[in-house]
Amino acid sequence: MSKEEQQNKNVVPEFPSAVEQGKNLTELIGKFVDQALEGDMELLVDEFEKNRRFCICQACPYYHRASKRCKKCGCFLPPKVKIKVSECPIKKW
């Protein structure tokens, strides 16, 4: 492993634990269901917002390119960025 790779490894942690990922996913599903139960059926963002979010992710040090997942929350980003009530865990979008 090169020195740069080692430094990046020190800066960006591995994926959160399975328990943490499960908790994050459960929270997101809960918010999604709450929104639907409140009658707001606009559950997904439009194409522009989806692309805006995903572009931000692709430039983020937490983005794991091979799996298209976020190393901060563990979520799969292609579906996550589409969901209106989802949030970036470090408030980038």
CB of 31 to ligand SF4, least distance (A): 15
Q: Please report which residue ranges of 1-93 form alpha helices under DSSP H.
A: 3-11, 18-37, 47-58, 77-80
Residue (14 or 37) nearer to ligand SF4, CB: 14
In the numeric block, the tokens 């994926």 are attached to 15
The interface with ligand SF4 within residues 54-93 (CB under 6 A) comprises: 56-57, 60, 62-63, 70, 72, 88-90, 92
* 63-64/69-70 β-pairing: antiparallel
> What number of other Cβ atoms are within 10 A of residue 81's Cβ?
24
Cα torsion through 10, 25, 53, 5, rounded to 10: 20
- Is residue 29 a contact residue for ligand SF4 (CB under 6 A)? no
- Is residue 28 a contact residue for ligand SF4 (CB under 6 A)? no
Residue (35 or 89) nearer to ligand SF4, CB: 89
Q: Point out which residues bind ligand SF4 (CB under 6 A).
A: 56-57, 60, 62-63, 70, 72, 88-90, 92
